[in-house]
Amino acid sequence: LAKTTQPISMDSYEGQEVNITCSHNNIATNDYITWYQQFPSQGPRFIIQGYKTKVTNEVASLFIPADRKSSTLSLPRVSLSDTAVYYCLVGISSGSARQLTFGSGTQLTVLP
């Protein structure tokens, strides 16, 4: 089964831009790509969602290339409170089935 992969961890300093990429080679044709933030012992919190090209909201941007086999979450000017685990969520085609799959998660640590 194809996986949805992300870097295990990233470190950044306050005020920097952070880009986290998720690789999803077998993304289902009609599926959206969604990114979540999770703090310890809490449920994931929605950040942004997109289907193709670029999406921007008040907290992040999402870049999706034409082949949709990857996506990049961009967090502008991170702060200490952005330290969390970030997950992508996509539907992955597996034969004739579609399986909702969370990425492996990226632990972002923002340093002062």
Partner 1 sequence: GAVVSQHPSWVICKSGTSVKIECRSLDFQATTMFWYRQFPKQSLMLMATSNEGSKATYEQGVEKDKFLINHASLTLSTLTVTSAHPEDSSFYICSASGRASYEQYFGPGTRLTVT
Site string for partner 1, 33-52 (x = CB under 8 A): -x-x----xxxxxx--x---
Among 20, 28, 64, 87, binds partner 1 (CB under 8 A): 87
Shortest distance in whole angstroms from residue 15 CB to partner 1:
27
Q: Which is nearer to partner 1, 70 or 106 (CB)?
A: 106
Q: How many residues bind partner 1 (CB under 8 A)?
A: 20
Contacts of 58 (CB under 8 A, 6+ apart): none
Does residue 95 belong to the site contacting partner 1 (CB under 8 A)?
no
Nearest distance from C-beta of residue 23 to partner 1, angstroms: 14
The identity of residue 14, as a single letter, is E
Pairing of the two strands 84-94 and 70-75: unpaired
Q: Where are the beta strands (DSSP E) in the chain?
A: 9-13, 18-23, 33-38, 45-50, 53-56, 61-64, 70-75, 84-94, 97-102, 106-111
Q: Which positions touch partner 1 (CB under 8 A)? A: 31-32, 34, 36, 41-46, 49, 87, 89, 99-105
